[in-house]
Amino acid sequence: MAPEYAMHGYLSVKADVFSFGVLVLEIVSGRKVTERKLGEEKSDLLTYTWNLFQTGRQLELVDESLDTCNLSEASICIQMGLLCCQAIVADRPDMNALHLMMSNDSFTLPRPGKPGLQGRGGRWTTTTSSALTSTDATTLTNPKPSGTSSIEEYSRNSMSFSSMNEGR
């Protein structure tokens, strides 16, 4: 679940992108997003993946039980997963940008920012500059200049429960 939704109830299409990124990382690693039995360093998949990526060791994340694996594709999946899980909502790609990334062999992936962390407190920025706020292919390859703001639209979600006690 996207941190901005879990903590503040803000919902946007980028919340689904966050979930997609978590799913991609879970598939590549063969583990859940949180596994306490792995120890403090590895218990949070997003933080562990980010730390591996920062040190150039992201392929250590790949599930060891796989017989064969295209390491180049695994590395791309890890980077895309991290792009989807960025803490700054506006920096996450939209689904059209992800489709372009997955279907184009010559596309250079941008470097991801720090991921949002599930279950941890924090202030989440919803307006910022971003290279991936548009689905236009020229925008994707030519990022907007720094300082350009993008505004995410959100809806406050609440949950209601209705019950009827009637019988025949």
List, for residues 133-156, the tens digit of each pLDDT value.
Answer: 333 333 334 444 444 444 444 444
- Domain ranges for the chain, please list them: 3-156
pLDDT in tens, 56-75: 999 999 999 988 999 999 99
* CB-CB neighbours of 98 under 10 Å: 19
Q: Which CATH superfamily is domain 3-156 in?
A: Transferase(Phosphotransferase) domain 1 (1.10.510.10)
Residues in the chain, overall count: 168
Contacts of 21 (CB under 8 A, 6+ apart): 80, 81, 82, 83, 84, 85, 92, 115
Of 31-45, 75-89, 148-162, which gets the smallest average pLDDT?
148-162
- Distance between CA 138 and CA 117 in Å, rounded? 31
Structure-token pair, residue 140: 């994707």
pLDDT band at 41 (very low <50, low <70, confident <90, very high): low
pTM above 0.85, yes or no: no
Instruction: Give pLDDT, residue 44.
Output: 82
